[in-house]
Structure 1
């Protein structure tokens, strides 16, 4: 009896290779953005409330994306897709406004100037997340067809 090839699912894909790296980078950004925002909100909130609240929002979005990408299932996949899309929209909107009206952002957010303070990783990360999620969805559809 021939052995069948192991099926690749969202769970196994996110726990190996590029999926593992993506989850790790998201986790680092989740921790960094959330911790930074917490310190800023607790110590100097009155200096730049919008910037600090946006950094907190970014941290929450990174946490949700991390969990969504790391877990399997349609719901987790949808949550991850939405969070990556929100993240991309956030970095594009905040990045644009931070360049057009720098006075509105007296202190940087994670998404200011398209994430330039973080080597533009906040701009690239949601694109990679969305591409990865699309790849995993294709693997899942192929596994369903072959089952």
Structure 2
């Protein structure tokens, strides 16, 4: 029985930023820009109204920036940056989403991750799962 050529049958050897990775890169870039801009406006205009929420929006923006950079860079270092960023994003959206539902008083204004990203069509909830799946399936052989 002939041996299959593993380079043509295993998509994991493909670059992080090819195929669906380009779509992920675009979505992460959009979220990096929107979350960072939102946090900047909130912090600079009315920080005292909801400091926790606004700081969490800034953290989300930084996480999205790091994930975007990791996916764009690719390679071992880029993959590690994206993996850590997506993991932090997943924990963040689950923790902040839960806290914003359980203790609404602590979140008088929404963050990107409040109510599991309901203000953004729940994309912040789905995105880290898709990102982690993509990174896992495109790890070096």
> How far apart are 1:136 and its partner, in Å?
1.1
CA contact (8 A) 2:57 2:111 kept: yes
Superposition deviation, residue 9 in structure 1: 7.6
Residues 13-92 of structure 1: matches in 2 within 5 Å?
13-92=15-94
Map Cα deviations across residues 7-42 of structure 1 (whole Å, 9 max, x no partner).
9787x6334321100000000000000000000000
RMSD: 1.8
Deviation per CA, 1:37-66: give whole Å up to 9, x if none. Answer: 000000000100000000000000000001
Give structure 1 stretches of 5+ with no counterpart.
Answer: 142-147
CA distance in structure 2 between the partners assigned to 1:9 and 1:85 by the alignment: 19
TM-score by length of 2: 0.89
Gaps of 5+ in 2: none
**Which residue in 2 is equivalent to 1:115?**
117
Give distance in 2, aligned partners of 1:121 and 1:128: 10
Report the CA distance shift for 1:104/1:52 in structure 2 as closer, same or farther (over 3 A): same
C-alpha separation between the residues in 2 aligned to 1:120 and 1:56? 18
**Rounded Cα–Cα distance in structure 2 between residues aligned with 1:88 and 1:52:** 18
